[in-house]
Each structure stands twice: as structure tokens, then as C-alpha cells.
Structure 1
Amino acid sequence: MLYFLTKAYHCHTIWGFIWGAGWRRVPYLQPMSYEELFSRRRAPRGHYVFTDFDRMSAYEIQCAATVAETLKAADPAIRIYNHPLEVLERTPLLSRLQQVGINDFGVWRLDQGHRPSSYPVFIRAEDDCMRPDTGLLHNEAELDLALQDMKKRGIPLKRRIAVQYHAQSSPDGYFRKYGGINIGGKLVLQHILRNTEWYVKRGQVERDANSEREFLELFDNYEEHAEVLAKVFATAGIDYGRADYGFVDGRLQVFEINTNPTIPKLRKRRDRYARLRPTMLEAFEAMNQPPHSGGKPVPFELPKPVFERFPPVNWRMRNYKAGYWLMAASTLLRDPSI
């Protein structure tokens, strides 16, 4: 069994993959919330993927590290992916990537009084996937005005960072953001988003013939990107996640790594998903090799003192599980061959 640990309110990512792949193809994938695991104080034996670090408190990450270390000590056959003691999150990762010469832009923690040494920059939350708090700031005067404005709007500096702007549009006028997913060491192109704005959250053009052709050509010739990304994931200590990146003057630049990425619904009838489906299924299957034989759950103690309490009942995860089994039953009735 391969257990995927997520926050309870963000478990739809792996459930969406299970629903899209078909329940008989991935019987070994078992989503579980941190809240459920921590409240039980017992971890089922199997392989584990730790995710969602940006949504966890420092105490929750300490608890996750305790679980990982306890599992390793109890059963060396258990494989731990994204060990909480090894994963670098956004700010330390971006700093490290600049130090090793992969990235060419800097990042500064504003709540520690650090000031950018290069401009332009933008301000954003360190643990967030939403738009930045500001547009591009071109000098210290604009930075000071932006900080004053944030204060008026009630936005605290805690866990706010200034990120140096480093992006470049292509000759066709689009900024491109690539998504390369690492599934236990197998690097796969997940998407290419194109937007006329420098901050690319969603693509403006995804379904025309040119975008489909561009994706398929890169998907079949991904070795050059994958070679750099392998170094990035090794630096980050991340075995499962998606790197979002772009290119500036031909150099690959990583913006972040999401350890709990949304995976496309592979049932969609598009050429790109026909290519993604077998590759991703094989990669997930490899993460579960060799399959763990199971056994008695491993008890663990949470670090003391316990500043946070974990709910004994996880209704959202239970609702997802109920929905999954209803979906599986209805699918099997429609097509017993699945």
C-alpha cells in the first residue's frame, strides 16, 4: 500500500487522480489526512508520501517527521517519500537554487528586516498559491510605499517575501510556465501554461492545435528539461511534487515546487492525456515497489507539549472516501471490464 498524506481539506488532488485513472488500476493508492493519522497515533504499515508542507504548521511538520522516523525505525522495508526532515520549502529552496547556480534571481524575507539587493521585485506570501500582494516594484521607494499600503490593508509582514522578478516572454508574446512532475524519480511534463501577463497562474490558450502540438513535442523530448529538474528535486529533498518553471535567456528558472499538485483527470479524451496516462500510472506503480507486505500498525507518540489538537473525526476525508466508493461501484456496473 502507498499512503498519500495530505491536509484534510486538500485531499482532492490525489482523489482526483484515483477517480480519473480508474479504481482497479491504482488499488494500492490510499489517501490519508494528517489529522486522521495524528489523532489515531498508529500508522498502518506501507510506503508513505508526505505532502502539503506549505499548508502545515511548524508543529504539524514536527509531528510528520516523528511519524516518518518511527516508521523507518520500526520497519526498514518502508519507503518514505518527501521526508519532512529533508524537504526544502519555497524560500530556502529558492535561496539554495541561487547559491548552486541553477536560478539567477534572489528572494528576501521581509519579516526579518531583509531588503532586496536587486530590483524589480514583487511581494507575496511564502506559503500561498494565490497572486502576489503587489505588482512589480522597481526601487526602494516603491517598496516602502507598497509596505505602507499593505499595512493599511491589514496585511502583516509575517511570512511575506520579496522575490526578484526574472521572467521573459517568448517571441509570440506569451509568458510560459512549465509544470514538470516528479513521481518517485520519474520526471514527466504535466502542462505548459501560456499567458500575456508575467504572472502565469492559468493559461489563456491551452486547447488550440498549436498548444497541443507544443505539449506533445516537448513531452516526447523532455530529457534536457528533466536533467536540470533532477538536480532541482535532489537539492530540494523532494521525491514527489511538481516544479513550476520558465526560461530566461535559455536558462531554466524554477519558481516553486508543489508537493501536493493537482493532477489532471486522465479520463479526458485529449492526446496529451493519452500520453500522460500510462507514464504516470507506471511511475506510481514503481513508487509502490516492492509492495509492502503489511502487518500490525506502528504506534507513535507526538512531540510534547501538544500545542495543537487534532480532530478525532475527519468528515471531509470520509466524504471523499464515500464518494470514491460510490463512483467505483457505479463505474463497475457500467463497465465490468474496468
Structure 2
Amino acid sequence: MQASVNRVRRLIYVTTRDHAYTFQAWPALLAPTGIEVQRFCYEQWLPAARTPVGTYVLTDFDRLSVSELQVAGELFQTLVAAGMTVLNDPRQFRPRAFLLKQLQHSGINTFGCHLPAAGEWPDRFPVFLRTLAGHRGVLSELLHDGTACQQALEAALAQGFTLSDLAFITFAATPSATGAFQKHAAYRIGDRIVRAVTVNQRHWMAKVGELGVASEAQYREELTEMDHYPHAAFVHRVFDAAGSTFGRLDFGLTDAGPQAYEINTNPHMGSGAPDELMHPNADRSATMQRIRRDLIEAFGAQVPPHPRGWIRLRDQRRPVPRV
């Protein structure tokens, strides 16, 4: 009895201060499995002298500065050396533009990313203009020629956006059988891939979804894929290319095959509201319930029991890092 009392299954989820809401439901969801969840913010964690023993999930890399990523990378190494499981290595992080270029160069994607700050300009249309950092989104409709691109860029600069944070992305999406656009998604938690729900929307930038757009057959197929997910190998390949072991990949299915759009290292994973897993379509409701169950199991597989205790992160004689 004493041995079990002195051991704990602890999951520590680290985000920026303003984006801890993404994981707010999970302390209660994981509690029945015996997992204790603690949520830390980088603003407090990076300068800390010690941190609890447990399994760590490091997120929100695209919201950290280079110096913050460097300190987080040092802490990653300390945790791994202490025998902890740590999902996501800050040293491997690729910002959006770098990841998209890598995926194109490696043949995973067929579409490109063009940085006007580097003198790059689209060579294939249509494209759209978007911001790169902080998930601030798309700034234009589809642009079909160089003149439209120049006008969109000038409009973004006039609104106060910075040139270094802007990119033209080649449009890569094929409508589904219903004529709507789809955003597919999947989570990676360690070595587990968990299918996420598919967003169906009439607008080409499928993001939040629309009721009545997907067909009954699509919902049935989605539920079936919870057992036999045909894109698991693709999802693994993209995460491996990104050097990431946790997050959500958003991608599309096109005539050229699946195309990766982004990896969100701090995905919103639900609010925990009682009606959150309910949907007018019974198959979609079953899919959402299955996703929740699979995510709980995937987290559980990453969190072994450890003796209660602390890990020293730095010698107290060293100056506290300024982040």
C-alpha cells in the first residue's frame, strides 16, 4: 500500500499563459483513469528551478520566441535525462513556412509556400495570402494572378501586418462527393494516431463546418475509419517529418493524394460540456464519442506511474533565463 501511495501517474501539459483553455476539460476526463493533470504556462515554467516528476506534453511552439524555444529545449533535455516521457521536442520545431517547404521538397505535399519577404512569388494559381504565426488565419480570398497577389499584399501591409509574417499558399483542395470542401484531421499522441472529425463546409477555407453539408454516407464512412484509418501512415509520416510527437494534423484529400496543411501543437481538444459529443446524426455522435475514448486511452498509454518527487531544472547558481 505504501508503495502505491508514493507513486503517481501525472501528466503535465505546458502552454502559453493565454492558451491553456485548449486542455481545460482534460483533468476531469483523465481523473477516472488515475491520471493527475497539471497545466503549466511557459511564463512560469521556463524560469523555474524545479518541476514535478511526470509525463510532459510541450505545446504552443509557434507562440514562443526563439530564446524561449531554446530554454524549452534545454528543459526537454533535462527531463529526458531524468527518465521522463516528453512529447514534442522544442529543438525540432519548424514554423509553418519551413514545415510546408520541407513537406513539398520531400514529396509529401505537391503545393508550395511563397514568402514575399524573401522575394518569392507564386508560380501557380490560385493561391491565398495568410499570416504565419499565432494561428491568425487567412487574409484574402483565392487569388488567381500576380496582380491580385500584389493587391492583397499591399492591403495586408496597409492593415499593419508585417511582411515577414506573410505567405502565399497554393490552394490545394478537391471538393467531396457532395460538392463541399473538407478539412480532415488526426491527432498524434506518442505513437498513437487518433482520427479527428472531418469538417465539411461550402466555403473553400473549411474551418468550423456547416450542418447539412455532409451526407449520411460520409458520416458512416467516418465512423468506420475509427477502426481502419486509411490515412494513419500519411499522418505518421508528416509528424515524423516535423519532428513532432504530439498535436493535430489538418490535411485535405485531393486528386494528387492527401496534402498536409498544418500541425497544431496545442490543439483545442474539447470543452467537456455535457452536450459536446451530441450531433443530429447518430453516426457522427458515435464518432465523437469514440474519438474521446481513444484520446483518453492514448494519453493513458503515455503516463506510467512514477515516484512522487521533483526534478531540478537548473543549478540555482545559474541566472534565471529571461524569456
Structure 1 residue 271 corresponds to structure 2 residue 280: no
Matching residue of 2:52:
44
2:11 and 2:56 in contact (8 A); partners too: yes
Tell which deviates more after alignment, 171-180 or 119-128: 119-128
Residue number in structure 2 paired with 1:220: 227
SS for the counterpart of 1:23 is helix
SS, match of residue 220 in structure 1: coil
Structure 1 residue 9 corresponds to structure 2 residue 9: no
Residues 11 and 35, structure 2, Cα contact 8 Å, conserved in 1: no
- After the TM superposition, which of the residue ranges 98-107 and 263-272 deviates more from structure 2? 263-272
The alpha carbon displacement at 1:279 in A equals 1.6
Partner of 1:11, secondary structure, is helix
AA in 1 matched with 2:91: L
Amino acid across the alignment from 1:91: A
Residues 1:282 and 2:297 aligned together: yes
Task: Identify which of 312, 315, 321 aligns with 1:298.
Answer: 312
Q: Do the aligned partners of 1:50 and 1:81 also contact (CA within 8 Å) in 2? A: yes
Identical amino acids, percent of aligned pairs: 30
Aligned 1:1-338 pairs, distance under 5 A: 1-19=10-28, 21=29, 23-25=31-33, 27-73=35-81, 75=82, 77-205=83-211, 210=216, 212-222=219-229, 224-249=230-255, 251-265=257-271, 268-269=277-278, 270-289=285-304, 291-300=305-314, 308=323
Asked if structure 1 preserves the Cα contact closer than 8 Å seen for 2:50 and 2:312, the reply is yes
Alpha-carbon displacement from aligned partner over 1:291-333 (angstroms, at most 9, x marks no partner): 332433313279989554xxxxxxxxxxxxxxxxxxxxxxxxx
Amino acid at match of 2:251: Y
1:194 partner amino acid: N
Q: 2:46, 2:321 within 8 Å by CA — same for their partners in 1? A: no
Q: Which stretch has the larger CA shift, 244-253 or 32-41? A: 32-41
The two structures have a TM-score, normalised by structure 2, of 0.86
Quote the Cα distance in structure 2 between the aligned partners of 1:111 and 1:208: 39
Letter matched to residue 23 of structure 1: A
CA–CA distance in structure 2, aligned partners of residues 106 and 250 of structure 1: 14
CA RMSD after TM alignment: 2.4
The aligned amino acid for 2:174 is Q
Question: Structure 2 vs 1, CA of residues 229 and 208 (structure 1 numbering), >3 Å: closer, same or farther?
Answer: closer
Residue 4 of structure 2 corresponds to which residue in structure 1? none
CA deviation after TM superposition for structure 1 residue 214, in Å: 3.7
Matched residues, number: 303
Distance 1:162 1:305, change over 3 A: farther
Q: Which TM-score applies when normalising by structure 1?
A: 0.82
SS of the residue 1:232 aligns to? helix
Matched letter for residue 54 of structure 1:
D
Q: 1:107–1:161: 8 Å Cα contact kept in structure 2?
A: yes
The Cα shift of 1:36 comes to 1.9
Structure 2, unpaired ranges of 5+: 1-9, 279-284
Seen in structure 2, the aligned counterparts of structure 1 residues 112 and 301 have a Cα distance that, compared at 3 Å, is farther
